Amino acid sequence: MQPRSVYVHIPFCMKMCHYCDFATYTVKGQPVDAYLDALEAEMHLALHGSPAGEVHTIFVGGGTPTVLTAAQMERLLSIVGKYFPHRSDDLEFTVEANPGTVDLEKLAVMRDGGVNRLSLGAQSFDDRLLQAIGRDHDARTVIESIDVATSAGFHNISLDLMYGLPGQTVDVLDDTLEATLRLGLQHVSAYALKIEENTLFYSLQQKGQLSLPTDDEEYEMYQLVRQRMAESGYVQYEVSNFSLDGFESRHNQTYWRNEPYYAFGVGAHGFTDGVRFANVRGLKPYIQAVKEKRLPRADQYKVSRKEDMENTVILGLRMREGVSTLRFEQRFGVQLADVYGDHMKELEQKGWLTQDERSVRLTESGLLWGNEVFARFIS
């Protein structure tokens, strides 16, 4: 399949959050302009110097892309536009932003460059909690940034929240949800904290110095998120994502449907021509590789048909619409039940899976036991 989505990674941040294990660097003193040169060179190498076919989604993530200056942002969007011309009227073009890193000048540059969706990393509206997880903004800055973005013409804004954070209680999360819902945004993502190696939180946990909510408390938090979102008219279309009608993240659905996508930048992961790859995470190795006219791959491998089928089922079950039986058959030439019938029957008996002639989906109970369900489809 021809990729119809593009991911571009900007690895720079104002500071490092205590939970983050992404390929990121504090922006001060970094070779930002040289990195933009390298991004353009990687796109040239990957696309053999020619623009790609029509794409339907572009996502610029990080890091914090909006730590770029207005001039650097303009250059970035020009590079993206050069290799991925904006031919589609319904293109979804998202840029991630942190509160306090957007202003009218930069937002105008983004609008002129085709950006029509913002993903804002709020995480919480509790100032004490924001400080504890290493964020460099407060609740007021979140609201101010949304006001600026709206006045600049952005009317498709997503807000990221986190739960299961150190010291967070159900009541604190409820206050954050209340503040979020008052904003009337189009999309909300709510992710449980995952402790990753090479983070401050991991080090603190290893030393017994990180006080996290219990599993039962985290479960209660997740159910609270789902309840409050539903009561306010948001549809849960994926395990961690909620939207008003018509504002689902089309880019992320590319991942969940296991469709191919281009990816560029330090640490970026892509899936093209049946090959999954990961770029190097170091800035200097990345820049040096493209200077030598080499794709900056740290790892790549051809995805087997069996793994491709497994990924299609596991990722597809994250969505409430489930796995389309028709798309599965069109893609692999076999029926879903012929490959996974025994697993599906077992999970149906447990009450975790349901199916009809169109799709296979998680039940309400299955949604809470998702990892157990997904494991059944891994050889």
The rounded distance, in Å, linking the Cα atoms of 195 and 199 is 8
Nearest alpha-carbon partner for 162 in 92, 213, 209: 213
Tokens 């940034």 identify what position? 145
Domain count, the chain: 2
What tokens appear for 161 in the block?
């929240």
Indicate the SS3 state at residue 308: helix
What are φ and ψ of residue 123, in 5° steps? 75, -45
Give the contacts of 13 (CB within 8 A, at least 6 positions apart): 24, 25, 26, 27, 62, 63, 64, 67, 98
| Residue 13 is assigned to a structural domain of this protein | yes
Q: Are 95 and 231 found together in one domain? A: yes
What are φ and ψ of residue 289, in 5° steps? -60, -50
Indicate the SS3 state at residue 229: helix
What are φ and ψ of residue 198, in 5° steps? 65, 30
Q: Are 250 and 330 found together in one domain? A: no
Q: Are 190 and 329 found together in one domain? A: no
Domain region containing 48: 5-256
- The Cα-based distances of 162 to 129, 176, 355 in angstroms read 11, 10, 31
| Residue 45 is assigned to a structural domain of this protein | yes
Nearest alpha-carbon partner for 212 in 164, 177, 253: 164
| Residue 294 is assigned to a structural domain of this protein | no
Q: Are 108 and 245 found together in one domain? A: yes
Residue by residue, pLDDT tens for the chain (379 residues) are 889 999 999 999 999 899 998 889 999 999 999 999 999 999 999 999 878 888 999 999 999 999 999 999 999 999 999 999 877 678 999 999 999 999 999 999 999 999 999 999 999 999 999 999 999 999 999 999 999 999 999 999 999 999 999 999 999 999 999 999 999 999 999 999 999 998 999 999 999 999 999 999 999 999 999 999 999 999 999 999 999 999 999 999 999 999 999 999 999 999 999 999 999 999 999 999 999 999 999 999 999 999 999 999 999 999 999 999 999 999 999 999 999 999 999 999 999 999 999 999 999 999 989 999 999 998 7
Q: Residue 191's CB: how many other CB atoms inside 10 A?
A: 15
Q: Are 83 and 220 found together in one domain? A: yes
Q: Are 249 and 339 found together in one domain? A: no
Give the contacts of 97 (CB within 8 A, at least 6 positions apart): 64, 65, 66, 118, 119, 120, 121, 145, 149
| Residue 284 is assigned to a structural domain of this protein | no
| Residue 318 is assigned to a structural domain of this protein | no
- pTM: predicted TM-score of the whole model, two decimal places: 0.96
Buried b (16+ CB within 10 A) or exposed e, 173-183: beebbebbbeb
Q: Are 48 and 144 found together in one domain? A: yes
Yes or no: say if 292 and 34 are a contact pair by the CB < 8 Å rule. Answer: no
Q: Are 147 and 44 found together in one domain? A: yes
The rounded distance, in Å, linking the Cα atoms of 240 and 361 is 16
| Residue 278 is assigned to a structural domain of this protein | no
Q: Are 64 and 196 found together in one domain? A: yes
